[in-house]
Amino acid sequence: MKKSIVYIICYALPVPVILISLFIGSTGQADVGTALALAYKSVFAPALSAAEAESWMMIQNIIYNVRLPRVLMTFLVGAALSVSGSVLQGIFRNPLVDSYVLGISSGAAFGAALAMTFVLIPVSLAAFAGGILAVGMSYLVARSGSGIVSIVLSGMVISGMFAAGLAIVQYLSNPYKLQAIVQWTMGNLHAASWQELQRVYGPVIAGLVVVYIYRWRLNILSLGDDAAKATGVNPGLDKWILIGCATLLTAITVAAVGMISFYGLFLPHMVRMMLGADNRKAIPASIFLGGTFLLVIDNFSRSLFAFEIPVGIFTMLLGGPFFIYLMRKNKLNWN
């Protein structure tokens, strides 16, 4: 693909996609035509009729208080998940992992559900603790084996254990809370609000900035520990800083919108196919394309059918076949 087209896709596309997303909704209210007509009238023909004034108010309300926070939230979540996937794939030198495969999402979901049910500590903090616990366990379990498969398998096992923990929490919680937890585990963006966004944007941007700074170091780490040490780098510290960021990004998004699985797996592949493996280019592209593409998926999830499909189910449906495709592609080094 031509370089200029790639850069347009990554860095110019977000603007129109964000604008279009503001006018797409499951209710069919506030579509582009009506909104623009009323906006035009309110500016150039100050005397709106009472009915028009009312629907103009409502459209403004929907766009500003419902859709704008949701669009921004979706963008941040997409950027966070795709960057955390890029980081984890680089550090584990494994194109088959993301925060879901490694069990970070399940760990974070377990922590968050625990905090939601029993209200002990803030949900994000509990999610982060669960995520760190899960990735630490996956790492330790995988160390006893070797190669690309053992990390995926150990991630699966750890993920399964935390999923069981989550089921126990669901079993123990009362019906009202249960429904909230079930909806949230499927990955739902419809609850996004300005308050929710306020809790999310700080840590997500902080995580993204640290990864952006470390993006070249990620190139070095992805050649392996010995190769990193041979060039005079201590990989231990860099690794844990980056894994910490990936976990933070995942945990914050899980706490806010639930589990959106496999998104962090396939987005880094899309970026690598377009821009190559060099993380100096791939990380910024992951941030923007990650945000944009999740918006596109979310637009489909809320407009394709009369009811809204949770976005996590949508990404799972896209990501599953993609995972199988990667597995079958012989280029993978299984040892």
Would you say 3 or 46 has its CB closer to other proteins?
3
Q: How far is the CB of 332 from other proteins (least distance, A)?
A: 7
Task: State which residue, 16 or 276, has the beta carbon closest to other proteins.
Answer: 276
Nearest distance from C-beta of residue 335 to other proteins, angstroms: 8
Return the number of the residue (86 or 253) whose C-beta is nearest other proteins: 86
Helical spans, DSSP H, in the chain: 3-7, 14-21, 32-44, 50-61, 68-91, 104-118, 123-144, 147-172, 175-185, 194-213, 215-221, 225-230, 235-257, 263-275, 279-303, 311-328
C-alpha dist (Å) from residue 29 to 89, 160, 180, 271: 41, 41, 26, 35
Q: Report how far residue 244's alpha carbon sits from residue 153's, in angstroms, rounded to the nearest whole number.
A: 21
Decide if 128 contacts 252 (C-beta within 8 A).
Answer: yes
Minimum distance from CB of 264 to other proteins (Å)?
16
Contact 110, 255 (CB under 8 A): no
The minimum distance between CB 277 and other proteins, in angstroms, equals 4
Q: Which is nearer to other proteins, 94 or 188 (CB)?
A: 94
Q: Are 98 and 265 in contact (CB under 8 A)?
A: yes
239 vs 272, beta carbon nearer other proteins = 272
List the Cα angle 174/181/206 in 5-degree steps: 135
**Terminal-residue alpha carbon distance, the chain:** 31
Rounded Cα gap, residues 189 and 241, in angstroms: 29
To other proteins, the closest distance from the beta carbon of 272 in angstroms equals: 7
Contacting positions for other proteins (CB under 8 A)? 89-90, 93-95, 148, 213-214, 216-217, 219-220, 222-224, 226-234, 272, 276-278, 280, 331-333
Region class of 28: left (phi > 0), else alpha (psi between -120 and 50), else beta:
left
Rounded to a whole number of angstroms, the minimum distance from the CB of residue 131 to other proteins is 24
Query: Least separation, in Å, of the C-beta of 233 and other proteins?
Result: 5
Residue closer to other proteins by CB (options 67, 93) is 93
Nearer to other proteins, 244 or 313 (CB): 244
